[in-house]
Amino acid sequence: MTPQQFQQWRIDHDYTQAEIAEVLGVHYRTISKWEIGARKIPPFMHITLRCVNEKGGVQNTEGIQRKEVKKKAHGRKDSNSKKDR
Protein backbone atom coordinates (compact mmCIF):
# COMPACT_ATOMS: atom_id res chain seq x y z
CA MET A 1 0.00 0.00 0.00
CA THR A 2 1.40 3.37 -0.99
CA PRO A 3 1.19 6.49 1.19
CA GLN A 4 -1.28 7.96 -1.31
CA GLN A 5 -3.48 4.85 -1.20
CA PHE A 6 -3.50 4.87 2.59
CA GLN A 7 -4.40 8.56 2.75
CA GLN A 8 -7.12 8.15 0.12
CA TRP A 9 -8.63 5.22 2.06
CA ARG A 10 -8.67 7.32 5.24
CA ILE A 11 -10.32 10.26 3.50
CA ASP A 12 -12.84 8.07 1.64
CA HIS A 13 -13.89 6.50 4.96
CA ASP A 14 -14.17 9.85 6.78
CA TYR A 15 -11.41 9.29 9.34
CA THR A 16 -9.14 11.98 10.69
CA GLN A 17 -5.53 11.01 11.28
CA ALA A 18 -6.23 10.93 15.03
CA GLU A 19 -9.30 8.69 14.62
CA ILE A 20 -7.61 6.09 12.43
CA ALA A 21 -4.57 6.17 14.71
CA GLU A 22 -6.81 5.31 17.67
CA VAL A 23 -8.43 2.45 15.77
CA LEU A 24 -5.06 1.05 14.68
CA GLY A 25 -3.42 1.55 18.08
CA VAL A 26 -0.68 3.85 16.83
CA HIS A 27 0.21 7.49 17.49
CA TYR A 28 -1.33 10.05 15.15
CA ARG A 29 2.17 11.13 14.13
CA THR A 30 2.73 7.62 12.76
CA ILE A 31 -0.25 8.12 10.45
CA SER A 32 1.17 11.44 9.29
CA LYS A 33 4.56 9.85 8.60
CA TRP A 34 2.93 7.01 6.66
CA GLU A 35 1.01 9.47 4.52
CA ILE A 36 4.03 11.59 3.60
CA GLY A 37 6.21 8.53 3.01
CA ALA A 38 8.60 9.25 5.89
CA ARG A 39 7.82 5.88 7.45
CA LYS A 40 7.06 2.58 5.76
CA ILE A 41 3.47 1.38 5.99
CA PRO A 42 3.31 -2.21 7.33
CA PRO A 43 2.73 -4.71 4.50
CA PHE A 44 -0.42 -6.10 6.15
CA MET A 45 -2.15 -2.69 6.39
CA HIS A 46 -4.51 -3.30 3.46
CA ILE A 47 -5.88 -6.33 5.31
CA THR A 48 -6.15 -4.39 8.57
CA LEU A 49 -8.06 -1.59 6.88
CA ARG A 50 -10.44 -4.08 5.29
CA CYS A 51 -11.16 -5.48 8.76
CA VAL A 52 -11.71 -1.98 10.16
CA ASN A 53 -14.13 -1.28 7.33
CA GLU A 54 -16.06 -4.54 7.83
CA LYS A 55 -16.25 -4.20 11.63
CA GLY A 56 -17.52 -0.63 11.55
CA GLY A 57 -14.43 1.17 12.74
CA VAL A 58 -14.36 3.50 15.72
CA GLN A 59 -17.96 2.90 16.76
CA ASN A 60 -17.31 -0.77 17.51
CA THR A 61 -13.98 -0.31 19.26
CA GLU A 62 -15.38 1.58 22.26
CA GLY A 63 -14.98 -0.36 25.48
CA ILE A 64 -12.33 -2.67 24.06
CA GLN A 65 -9.17 -2.55 26.11
CA ARG A 66 -5.79 -3.49 24.75
CA LYS A 67 -4.06 -6.36 26.49
CA GLU A 68 -0.81 -5.59 28.19
CA VAL A 69 1.82 -8.10 27.26
CA LYS A 70 4.35 -8.88 29.94
CA LYS A 71 7.78 -9.40 28.51
CA LYS A 72 10.17 -11.69 30.30
CA ALA A 73 13.73 -10.56 30.58
CA HIS A 74 16.02 -12.71 28.47
CA GLY A 75 17.52 -15.52 30.53
CA ARG A 76 15.33 -15.01 33.60
CA LYS A 77 12.83 -17.45 34.97
CA ASP A 78 9.18 -16.51 35.11
CA SER A 79 8.18 -16.46 38.79
CA ASN A 80 4.98 -18.31 37.90
CA SER A 81 6.66 -21.20 36.14
CA LYS A 82 6.00 -24.78 37.27
CA LYS A 83 9.62 -25.22 38.38
CA ASP A 84 9.22 -22.51 41.00
CA ARG A 85 6.13 -24.08 42.60
> Which domains, ranges and CATH numbers included, belong to the chain?
3-58 (1.10.260)
Summarised one tens digit per residue, pLDDT across range 33-45 is 999 999 999 999 9
DSSP state of 76: P
Please, what is the end-to-end C-alpha distance for the chain in angstroms?
49
pLDDT reported for residue 55: 73
Percent composition of the chain: helix, strand, coil (DSSP 3-state, to 5):
55, 0, 45
Compute the average pLDDT of residues 55-79: 49
